[in-house]
Structure 1
Amino acid sequence: MTHRLLLSYLSLMALVLLALEVPFGFVYARSELNRFSHTAELGAVTLASVCEEKLEHGLASDLPQLARSHARRTGSSVVVADRRGIVLTDTTTATTVGRNISSEPDIAAALSDRPATGIRIVPGGKVLFATVPGASSDTVPCVVRTLYSLGPLAQKIHATWIVPALVGLGVLAVVALIGFALARWITRPLRALECATRQLADGRLTDPPATDCGPPELRQLATSFTCTANRLQHLLHAQEAFASEASHQLKTPLTSLRLRLENFEPHLAPCAQHSLEEAISEVGRLSRMVQGLLALARLENSAITPEVIDLDAVVADRGAIWTAFAGEQHVDITVAGTPAGPVWAVRGALEQIIDNLLSNALQASPPGSTITLVTAPAPTDYGRTPPMAELHVVDQGPGMTETERQRAFDRFWRATDAHHDGTGLGLSMVRRLTQAGGGDVTLDAAPHGGIDACIRLRPARATRIRRHPVGRAGPPHLARARAAGQEHGQARLLGDGAGHRGQTDTS
């Protein structure tokens, strides 16, 4: 912004200088030409009077000397012709003496007792001519033509143009210094606001903008921004505190409620066992929903920085871990495609994204089907579209309609025929984790039925890859689910979002 303000100052001053100096230059040039022309005409009239007097006294032999003297004194060339237009003397060349020049326009006008002044172009450049008659009586005894080169006058005018130009440059230099200082003073609060905005975007305002410098309007803006930032920080801290406290305060009563319900089992009649199982399942679903909401709150309230992660290594690792659990349902998991290389992602996000998508795909896949993990590198020739590495999780389940795929990432939305124990938060978290790394996720229809979940991530080529250790014991939700004695525990990791038709990811 400093440069823009400085440019505006200089542009305005340049327009003012041009509006003043250019007309002045043209007026000065015209006035100098008029003055020069008037002086030349007066000199020619004076010379013509002397020549007329010499001719009247029969002293025509004095004309050459008289003409040369005038030419040396005025820096011109002189031609004197008699009443018939015959050249009597010419200071430029003697070959024209005796030649009749009465047909030339300026000579013909002077012989008719009309002075002629103007500019003509000759081989040496432009010249000013002043042709006057020597007519102190009724007849014109002689004609005098004086020629002046306009080169010296042009040099004088150009030299005069240089002075305003130098003055203008000096004024622009002074304006530039003053404008730069003024622009820096005006934009200093804006730079402080920009720095404070970046800090606030990172989660904490450590250096609030000064409210005692800059124009009054910007001081007021800085004050308002500081108040707003403090209020936002207070709200964020309150949300973080709520998420932290709720995580502890809700876990204990939910766990206690679950244990109490399980303790009722020996004392209930067989006809009430199904209701007890449903109640225990709902308590588990409520617990997973709370955990999912708290996880989303932490994602939205905390500053997360993407890192360079080896996508191929993570895909191979998660595929190997999920293969054993998929085998229990007679479903195969394969890894295919071209290595995608390093990508930008939040630390630990890729594992959670793949686990959630595989959990959804496993619930939707019938026995004997295959879940395919396909990686693709970013294209090298992409035109105006930014290159993105891709990861596809393709199942062979019943799939989803286009409307369901569009709503799949909405919070708490589940397909109408999804399992009742889902929370509708898993795919919301998948999208949030993907977007935190600068990527995106979509659900498309697979070519041969099922769903193609496509994760697009920013490539990080020629960058050192940071590898994080990945546990080999399998997804932690699986162990917790088995320990709790629940069936289908393999599907309960991050929450369900929409799942596929006939499926739900759980949290």
Structure 2
Amino acid sequence: MRRRVLTVYVTLLVAACLGLALPLCGSIAARGTSDMLLDRINDTARFAGLAEPSVLTGSATSLTGELTAYDQLYGITAVIVDREGSVVAASREGADVAGMDPGHDADRDGELPEAVRTALAGNRMGANTIVYPWQDGPLIVAEPIGRSGEVVGAAVTASPTASLRRSTLAQWCVAWAAVASLMIAGIAAAGPLTRWVLRPIDDLDEATRAVSGGSLDTRVRTAAGPEELRRLGESFNQMADTITSMLERQRTFVAYAGHQVRNPLAALRLRVDSLSRHLTPEGAQQHRLALDEVDRLSRICDSLLTLARTEDAEHSLVWEDVVEVAEDRVVSWAPIAERAGAVLECENTVGMRVRCVEGTLDQALDALIDNALKFGGPGVRITVRAHRTEPGPDGPGHVDVHVVDDGPGLPEAQLEQAARPFWRDGTDGVGGSGLGLSIVVTLLELQGAHLSLRPASPHGIDARIRLPV
């Protein structure tokens, strides 16, 4: 937008300067020509008044002396012609009206220049002639000589225009220098002026970027600027206030729910654990399952509290060994997998360290392994493996953690929706709220990671966690 405003501004500035300079140059040339033309018309009219007797009698001795003195004083050729265009008297020997105008073409225009023909027709020369610096011909002025309303001849003067053209060109240079200075000053002011005009939009852009980056307390200044942008800024601030309020209420609810449930779960686990000495060997397995479910509920509460602390997540990044975390989760879930008749294994050989929010990778793997055990069916094989990609032309390096099962899987269209909150397949009758994967996605986004679900070969689901290095 800044480029467009600058383009429009500079275009209008150049057009305005040219629109000012061109008429000004034309006015300068017309004014100089008009001044010179007025003087020559007066002189030529005086010669026309003096030449009437000479034209009628054919005696031009005294008139020739007058014209010669005028030519010697001002350097202007003067000629008196009769009705047929023949020279009666001239300021210079051999002067004729055809040679007074170098640009005159006798074959095209006739025997006489247009100004002389106009005068012999009884009309006076108009004041619409303009001499421009690129013209090099003289200024021809002709006045009719009349007697009792009858034209008997014409007085013609040919004035050199070199001095007039130099004066006009000098004034044009001054005018163009002034216009160029104005244009340069306007272009120099284009940057600050454009920044001033677009400042409210820049403020709105910065505030939008800050809010999208997580700074929900950022607001737009609405005290100055155009009325339309002030209204837009006020609407943006109201929207930001609404979003902040909604997120704060949601965060408060999640934190309250997670915190309030943790204490009863801790007490419940102690009570269930204390029952172990009263159980028969046949009830020990069910007792262990009950303890596993209590531990699972505790982990869910931890996830809720982590979600509630997302605003401060960037301040609790820690280094974690991906392989170590994966192996630890496989060991923890091994008894549950064994009781479910599943095979859970980890394929990792070399440790890989990443910087992430503490506990998020553990909880993400718990959710993915839990889903694989729950929906993979009897005898499902679950493999957890990790590998690292070095930085290259395609982008920075990353660590991929895969949780792959060979269960029935899901169609690709449903895989794209599986991470949405409260989404469920609804075809297998397995219980659940549909929040597990959406919580994993939110936890991973805290450190710039993401989760993707793809079909496994030949069947099953390949859940990939991509962590930035």
TM-score of the two chains, using structure 2 as the length reference: 0.62
Give the CA deviation at 1:259. Answer: 3.4
Tell me which residue corresponds to 2:119. 110
- 1:306·1:437 contact (CA, 8 Å) conserved in 2? no
Pairing 1:425-444 to 2, within 5 Å after superposition:
425-438=435-448, 440-444=450-454
Pairing 1:108-507 to 2, within 5 Å after superposition:
108-116=117-125, 118=129, 125=136, 128-136=139-147, 138-149=150-161, 151-152=165-166, 154-155=168-169, 158=172, 161=175, 165=179, 183=196, 198=210, 214=224, 246-263=257-274, 283-299=294-310, 301-302=311-312, 304=314, 329=343, 331=345, 333=347, 346-348=356-358, 351-352=361-362, 355-356=365-366, 359=369, 363=373, 364=376, 373-376=386-389, 380=393, 391=400, 393=402, 395=404, 397=406, 398-416=408-426, 424-438=434-448, 440-446=450-456, 448-454=458-464
Tell me which residue corresponds to 1:489. none
Tell me which residue corresponds to 1:58. 59
- 1:134·1:144 contact (CA, 8 Å) conserved in 2? no
Return the alpha-carbon distance in structure 1 between the equivalents of residues 31 and 123 of structure 2.
24
State the secondary structure of the residue aligned to 1:302.
helix
State the secondary structure of the residue aligned to 1:130.
strand
1:47 aligns with 2:47: yes
Return the alpha-carbon distance in structure 2 between the equivalents of residues 357 and 68 of structure 1.
117
Question: 1:203 and 1:66, CA in 2 relative to 1: closer, same or farther beyond 3 A?
Answer: closer
Pairing 1:27-42 to 2, within 5 Å after superposition:
30=30, 33-34=33-34, 36-42=36-42
Task: Write out per-residue CA displacement over residues 207-255 of structure 1, whole angstroms, 9 at most, x where no aligned residue.
Answer: 98899x6579799999999999889878777766665565544222112
Which runs of 5 or more structure 2 residues have no equivalent in the other structure?
A: 101-105
Return the alpha-carbon distance in structure 2 between the equivalents of residues 47 and 172 of structure 1.
53
Tell me which residue corresponds to 2:103. none
Structure having greater relative contact order (Cα 8 Å, sep ≥ 6): 1
Which runs of 5 or more structure 1 residues have no equivalent in the other structure?
A: 459-464, 466-507
State the secondary structure of the residue aligned to 2:314.
coil
State the secondary structure of the residue aligned to 2:144.
strand
Question: 1:53 and 1:392, CA in 2 relative to 1: closer, same or farther beyond 3 A?
Answer: farther
Return the alpha-carbon distance in structure 1 between the equivalents of residues 301 and 98 of structure 2.
121
Question: 1:24 and 1:105, CA in 2 relative to 1: closer, same or farther beyond 3 A?
Answer: closer
**How much identity, in percent, do the aligned residues show?**
23
Return the alpha-carbon distance in structure 2 between the equivalents of residues 122 and 25 of structure 1.
11
Aligned pair count reads: 440
TM-score of the two chains, using structure 1 as the length reference: 0.58
Return the alpha-carbon distance in structure 2 between the equivalents of residues 39 and 98 of structure 1.
23
- 1:431·1:440 contact (CA, 8 Å) conserved in 2? yes
Over aligned residues, Cα RMSD in angstroms? 6.3
Query: What code does the residue aligned with 2:45 have?
Result: V
Give the CA deviation at 1:144. Answer: 0.9
- 1:2·1:187 contact (CA, 8 Å) conserved in 2? no
- 1:243·1:294 contact (CA, 8 Å) conserved in 2? yes
Question: 1:450 and 1:306, CA in 2 relative to 1: closer, same or farther beyond 3 A?
Answer: farther
State the secondary structure of the residue aligned to 1:131.
strand
Task: Write out per-residue CA displacement over residues 47-68 of structure 1, whole angstroms, 9 at most, x where no aligned residue.
Answer: 3333445555723485376256
Return the alpha-carbon distance in structure 2 between the equivalents of residues 224 and 123 of structure 1.
62
State the secondary structure of the residue aligned to 1:133.
strand
State the secondary structure of the residue aligned to 1:432.
helix
Return the alpha-carbon distance in structure 1 between the equivalents of residues 325 and 273 of structure 2.
34
Return the alpha-carbon distance in structure 2 between the equivalents of residues 406 and 98 of structure 1.
95
Return the alpha-carbon distance in structure 2 between the equivalents of residues 449 and 408 of structure 1.
17
State the secondary structure of the residue aligned to 1:129.
strand
Tell which deviates more after alignment, 239-248 or 433-442.
239-248
Tell me which residue corresponds to 1:85. 85
Task: Write out per-residue CA displacement over residues 249-275 of structure 1, whole angstroms, 9 at most, x where no aligned residue.
Answer: 422211222333455567689999898
- 2:368·2:403 contact (CA, 8 Å) conserved in 1? no
State the secondary structure of the residue aligned to 1:391.
strand
Return the alpha-carbon distance in structure 2 between the equivalents of residues 216 and 388 of structure 1.
47
Question: 1:269 and 1:448, CA in 2 relative to 1: closer, same or farther beyond 3 A?
Answer: closer
Return the alpha-carbon distance in structure 1 between the equivalents of residues 176 and 113 of structure 2.
38
Return the alpha-carbon distance in structure 2 between the equivalents of residues 210 and 335 of structure 1.
55
Question: 1:297 and 1:180, CA in 2 relative to 1: closer, same or farther beyond 3 A?
Answer: same
Return the alpha-carbon distance in structure 1 between the equivalents of residues 139 and 400 of structure 2.
85
- 2:58·2:88 contact (CA, 8 Å) conserved in 1? no
- 1:90·1:97 contact (CA, 8 Å) conserved in 2? no
Return the alpha-carbon distance in structure 1 between the equivalents of residues 155 and 136 of structure 2.
24
